[in-house]
Structure 1
Amino acid sequence: MHDIRAIRENPEAFDRDLERRGLSPLSAELVALDDARKAAVSAAQAAQERRNALSKEIGAAKKAKDEARATELMAEVARLKEEAPELEAAQAQAAKILDERLAAIPNRPKAEVPPGADEHGNVEYRRFDASRERLAQGRQHFELGEATGLMDFEAAARLSGSRFVVLKGQLARLERALGQFMLDLHTTEHGYLEVAPPILVRDEAMFGTAQLPKFENDQFSVFNGLDYIKSLKRLAETQRQDPDIDPAAGTDKNFWLVPTAEVPLTNLVRENILAEDELPLRFTALTPCFRAEAGAAGRDTRGMLRQHQFNKVELVSITAPEKSDEEHERMLACAEAVLKKLDLTYRVMTLCTGDMGFASQKTYDIEVWVPGQQTFREISSCSVCGDFQARRMNARYRAKEGRAVNFVHTLNGSGVAVGRALIAVMENYQNPDGSVTIPSALQPYMGGLTRIEGPNH
């Protein structure tokens, strides 16, 4: 969410930043909407002030026993009272229009973010080469998994449709081991507080982190069964009275399945005023994540790369503004530590203006080498959002000096995606016989097991 005052103070800078995002200038439109809001506020205030003044005049007229004047003034007060709801509604509507417009505009990129229209404009920041010899090619994870009988996409399709998987036996344990390894690393070595959050959240939480309203079609919604049936009955009755009514009316969504634990973790500070001494706050969680992948039709349909349901360890930081850039680099290093301990080759990319997320000021993507595809694939994304999400959540802190109340800065990152880490381990640690060597960092979580055997064992 953008600050209309900052836009008013420097509209040229705002438009330049939007242009870097590939958008047309919007400051004039936004200032005009704010002018309309201010005019509505002024009209309502003027009417209230007039009513207050008239009340005093009525008292004076009655004291002077001027009943005619008092009656005339009382009539005007009555008229103003009748007009008040309309003025208040106009004020609320003007504010709603401005807020909705501001909420639909992506965050402003930092000055150092490279320009570009899509992923081809991303710039390599650094890379890490594993100590093990990097496989130039190999079988893909689903070929290895299906050959062992421990990765079953057909059973998942019978249960839930496409973009799901059933993991069994040692592969299921390996996925669990990865998640536990990451949580232990971030909590014991990196200072994150482990949180077990709800994975069903309300509209307000999704709006706070900017999943709503823009990305509604990418989310999964959940209805309370009984309430949903009642709403359908109400809708049926309404449609009998008005056949032209919108079929979607009257079926309100109750909850959303989280697309990432960023949503509940960041919203832990919503509608709060923190003390500066409390910052930074660092949270981590391992949760299932759910994405409709509405914009990914036909992409990565084989295997586990793009699933409707997957597990991910999330990192979230809440900081004072002057510390957010430093925290961004720290978060990136924490996510990188996972891949270093797993001894996986990866590179870090600074995303360009055209490839950044909606709420991000600056984003680093970590891409891990997957020999089955002979390419690097994203396994983590670490973003600094400034006060963009905090304004949507009304998350603030009180400064030690001067006691001023300001918006916090929020950051989020994958620490890392568990399913993609499983893919990377399987493909990079595969052996010619189809077995998979278990990285030494994970062996304590696997009961000392050193490899997942191929189909010939």
Structure 2
Amino acid sequence: MHDIRFIRENPAAFDAALARRGLDPLSAGILAVDERSRAIKTELQQGQARRNEASKAIGQAMAAKDVDKAESLKAEVAALKDRMPALEAEDRETGEALQAMLAAIPNLPANDVPDGDDEACNVEIGRWGEPRHFPFTPQDHADFGPALGLDFEGAAALSGARFAALRGQMARLHRALAQFMLDRQSGENGYEEVNPPLLVRDEALFGTGQLPKFAEDLFRTTDGRWLIPTAEVSLTNLVREQIVAAESLPMRLTALTPCFRSEAGSAGRDTRGFIRQHQFEKVELVAICKPEDSGAEHERMCAAAEGILQALNLPYRKMLLCTGDMGFSARKTYDLEVWLPSQQTYREISSVSNCGDFQARRMNARFKPEGEKQTRFLHTLNGSGLAVGRTLVAVLENYQQEDGSVIVPETLAPYMGGITRLRPR
């Protein structure tokens, strides 16, 4: 959500920032609705004040036995009472229209975000690790994974496309990855572990920016709740409609949850394999902090996600997303892309975003700085630490052997119950 006062005071700057997002100028339309809204509120306030004033004057006129004046004042009060409901209705409608306009506009990009239309304009910040040299042609995980317990056919019979069942040693490796990530983020990196709801109401998805614009990407239940597309929704909304104590900041939260996405906008992309599923697990990271700390918190969160890839010895690169590739709620985003030998390219495995006060405004989440009377909106950040399924794919492909087996990374040994290699069944 955007600050209407900022738009009033900086319409040209607001439109210039939208242009970087590829949007036409919107300030004139917004300010026209805002001006009408404020005019209605002024008329309402003046009418209410005049009604109260006239009501008191009626008593005074009656006491003075000035019947004509009393009747005239009564007529004025009656007219004001008749006018008020229409004004109140128009006030609600105009206010809702203004909020709807503001809610549909994406976050403004930070100054250091590169301009660009799509992922081709993203900027590489750095790389870690060297891709492994294979003495054989590395296979796609979708080809050798089924022999190790990655069951696509069984899942398709149950649920259709973009689902998978993990069996035996494959399920154990997936669980090991998830537990390792959660332990690392909640232990070494200091994120508080949370087990949040998987079903949320409209307000929660509005708060983090998925609604109203991206409803088609979500799954809705028959009672009107929504399955979360990411634990970001549940974790971030824990401060919804709250004034958070300044001394409790920064608040760092993590959760391992299933995530559910319709993938409505990805028709034809990654239809094979385990990369893009309707249901998957992810370890999510969320930070809630003071505005002056969000830049440093962004770097810290990205480093926490990178640490998982480094511990697993998976080569990756860090990308700064351009204005045309950032998510709706983000003002600045880093993507971590892991090396996949079968594709001979890097693929996204984590997205870490600083949302500034954009989500906090939608949630009305604030804090009171020490020594100040007024509250301020919090800053929120979120990132994957990591997507478990995509990490599983990266481990399978980078640690695959010519005989179809997969060596288990040493980091996962404590979680694997003595299994050091996945072998074809």
Give the TM interval when normalised to the shorter protein.
over 0.9
- Residue deviations 1:120-149 (CA, integer Å, cap 9, x gap): 00000111015x83549511111121133x
Aligned equivalents of 2:176, 2:312: Cα separation in 1:
12
1:250 is matched with none
Query: Is 2:357–2:378's contact at 8 Å kept on the other side of the alignment?
Result: yes
Deviation at 1:35, TM superposition (A): 0.2
Query: Which residue does the alignment assign to 1:64?
Result: 64
> Residues 112-127 of structure 1: matches in 2 within 5 Å?
112-127=112-127
**434-443 vs 42-51, greater mean Cα deviation:** 42-51
**Pairing of 1:76-115 with structure 2 (within 5 A):** 76-115=76-115
Partner residue of 1:421 out of 391, 404, 407:
391
Partner of 1:377: 347
| Deviation (angstroms), 1:221 | 0.2
CA RMSD, Structure 1 to Structure 2 (Å): 1.1
The answer to whether 1:298 aligns with 2:297 is no
Structure 1 residue 79, shift from structure 2 partner: 2.1
Q: Is the 8 A contact 1:134 1:428 kept in 2?
A: no
TM-score (norm 1): 0.91
| Conserved? CA contact 2:252–2:287, under 8 Å | yes
Report the count of equivalent residues. Answer: 424
Distance change >3 Å, CA 77–CA 105, structure 1 → 2: same
CA separation in 2, counterparts of 1:134 and 1:141? 17
What SS does the aligned partner of 1:287 have?
strand
Instruction: Check whether the contact 2:331–2:355 (CA below 8 A) recurs between aligned residues.
Output: yes
In structure 2, distance between residues paired with 1:442 and 1:9: 54
- Give the C-alpha shift of residue 375 in structure 1: 1.0
Give the Å deviation of 1:85: 1.4
Cα deviation digits, residues 181-235 of structure 1 (max 9, x gap): 00000111000000000000000000000000000010000113xxxxxxxxxxx
- Of residues 68-77 and 255-264 in structure 1, the stretch that sits farther from structure 2 once superposed is 68-77
User: Counterparts of 1:54 and 1:143 in 2: how far apart (Å)?
Assistant: 83
What is the alpha-carbon distance in structure 2 between the residues aligned to residue 158 and residue 447 of structure 1?
31
Matches within 5 A, 1:279-318: 279-318=249-288
Identity of aligned pairs, percent?
59
Q: Is the 8 A contact 2:200 2:226 kept in 1?
A: yes
| More off after superposition, 270-279 vs 71-80 | 71-80
TM-score by length of 2: 0.98
Q: Offset at 1:45?
A: 1.0
Other-structure match for 1:230:
none
Q: Distance in 1 between matches of 2:257 and 2:151?
A: 22
Q: Please tell me whether residue 188 in structure 1 is matched to residue 158 in structure 2.
A: no
Q: In the alignment, what sits opposite 1:246?
A: none
Pairwise CA distance, 1:328 = 0.2
Partner deviation per Cα, 1:317-349 (whole Å, 9 max, x = no partner): 001000000000000000000000000000000
Match of 1:355 in 2: 325
Q: Structure 1: any 5+ residue segments left out of the alignment?
A: 225-253
What's the CA shift for 1:75? Answer: 2.1
Partner of 2:363: 393
Any idea what SS the aligned residue of 1:441 has? helix
> What amino acid is the match of 2:277?
Q
- 2:252 and 2:8 mapped to 1: Cα distance? 34
Give the aligned partner of residue 243 of structure 1.
none
Kept after mapping to 1: 8 A contact 2:237/2:363: yes
Q: Per the alignment, in what secondary structure is the counterpart of residue 449 of structure 1?
A: coil
Displacement of 1:68 after TM fit? 2.5
Partner SS state of residue 102, structure 2: helix
- Quote the Cα distance in structure 1 between the aligned partners of 2:16 and 2:128: 35
CA contact (8 A) 1:134 1:345 kept: no
In 1, Cα distance between the equivalents of 2:375 and 2:356? 16
Q: Distance in 2 between matches of 1:134 and 1:156?
A: 33
The Cα offsets for residues 244-268 of structure 1, whole Å up to 9 and x where unpaired, read as: xxxxxxxxxx200000000000000
CA shift digits 1:387-422 (9 cap, x unpaired): 000000000001013243100000000000000000
Which AA in structure 1 matches 2:106? P
User: Which residue of the partner structure matches residue 218 of structure 1?
Assistant: 217
User: Displacement of 1:104 after TM fit?
Assistant: 0.3
